[in-house]
Amino acid sequence: TCLWKPSPTSILGCWVIYKILKEAGLPDGVLNFLPADGPLFGDAIFQHPDLAGVHFTGSTDTFAVIWRAIADNLRPYNSYPRVVGETGGKNFHFVHSSADVESVIFNTIRSAFEYQGQKCSAASRLYAPADLWPQIKEGLVENIKKIKVGPVEEFDSFMCAVIDEASFRRIASYIDLAKASDDYEVIAGGGYDDSKGWFVEPTVIVTTDPNSKLMTDEIFGPVLTVYVYEPEAFEATLTLCDHTSKYALTGAVFARDRSALMTASDHLRYSAGNFYINDKSTGSIVAQQPFGGGRGSGTNDKSGSVINLLRWTSIRTVKENFLPCTDFTYPHMAPED
């Protein structure tokens, strides 16, 4: 049996999905919907001897707490619990000088700003070559002006409010940091307003420091930070991209040069569990694109696929012998003629 504990900020949506599953014929007791206080819920399940596994989606820090709690309670368990986590991401779009600029612009806007950037796969850092940056910059700035930020009831709203006040304050703090530092330049957006909901403008910030806080921290909001590199430093910047973040969830490379794509793929092999070529770093579909990443982004068990499903099975190997055993010795033990 499974206990489903939803996030406090997504109870309604999860409840609707649960009711759909029940209406579709899910038997009673297979899945139990249980909204609860996180620490209270954890204290109950982590000390239960029948805990068989935890499948967690959320922050990297919370997942570390869960893993530690399971380790601390390992002795009473009837089996070793399976632990799967899908946590944070500091996802990148990396642009080569051969890239299609228009594709870069529109895929980046979609990835960084749809759902207000509040998805673990959203693009939040962009590496752009200096020879294409003026065109990319112009395209981003002009098209971001066209984005409608409004209520969800209006279907032409590309962005809506962020999830809650805590998220709003966190995102705003990063924008304020950029405005106050000489290392950053806000070139689009930068505004936020909580007078009627928690609204944050789609924001693009350029930094001169590739290891700055906005390039390394997961903000989980509509904030894209850009680092402009010299084209001749392509491979060095790929290495920089690989080493900048503790996460490895999603990433995308834009190039029409196949050699550049292969070079990028090699350098970024462990930088993204879901790696996109000339496409946005987000939008995986259940049962079509197995999803998950390593490093600080989780256990990379590929949710939405049979790969993940097998993590929750206990596999038994069965051997049946149809040839009776007539001696305990083996052929190699027979005496020589």
Known catalytic residues are 86, 120
For residue 291, the SS3 value is strand
Q: Which helix (H) or strand (E) holds 114?
A: none
What does the alpha-carbon distance between residue 117 and residue 158 come to, in Å, rounded to a whole number? 11
Which residue is listed with tokens 């009837």? 78
First-to-last alpha carbon distance for the chain, in angstroms, is: 63
Asked whether the beta carbons of 178 and 209 are under 8 A apart, the reply is: no
For residue 162, the SS3 value is coil
Q: Which helix (H) or strand (E) holds 85?
A: strand 82-86
Which residue is listed with tokens 């490093």? 295
Asked whether the beta carbons of 261 and 273 are under 8 A apart, the reply is: no
DSSP 8-state secondary structure symbol assigned to residue 208: S
For residue 126, the SS3 value is strand
DSSP 244-255: H-SEESEEEEE-
Q: What are the structure tokens assigned to 151, written together?
A: 């209520």
How many other CB atoms sit within 10 Å of the CB of residue 324? Answer: 5
